[in-house]
Amino acid sequence: MKQEQGNNILVGGVDIPSQLIELGLVDEYYFVVHPVVVGEGRRLLAGIRLQKKSQLKLVESSIFKSGSVALHYLKQ
């Protein structure tokens, strides 16, 4: 799918993105941080092994009225 022309392939949640990251198939990351502290829950990248350390470059950030922050990173 990555080799075909067209738009980006977007996935959310924890399980599928974690598997794609582990396989080295993710080029861009979009994180949305919500101002809520819950103390527990599922974590992105928990229990996976990365092929190699990836440096990320912040290319865009947005702050919303709710206090949430959206971060867009590219893999270098």
In order along its 76 residues, the chain shows pLDDT tens digits of 667 777 777 788 888 888 888 888 888 999 898 888 887 877 777 878 877 777 899 999 999 999 999 999 998 8
> Is the separation of the CB atoms in 21 and 48 below 8 Å?
yes
> Is the separation of the CB atoms in 26 and 73 below 8 Å?
no
Q: What is the pTM of this model?
A: 0.76
The total of structural domains in the chain comes to 1
For 17, the 3-state DSSP assignment is helix
Residue 44 domain flag: yes
Looking up residue 64, the CATH number of its domain turns out to be 3.40.430.10
22: left (phi over 0), alpha (psi -120 to 50) or beta: alpha
**pLDDT on residue 16:** 85
**pLDDT on residue 9:** 76
Neighbouring C-beta atoms of residue 73, cutoff 10 Å? 19
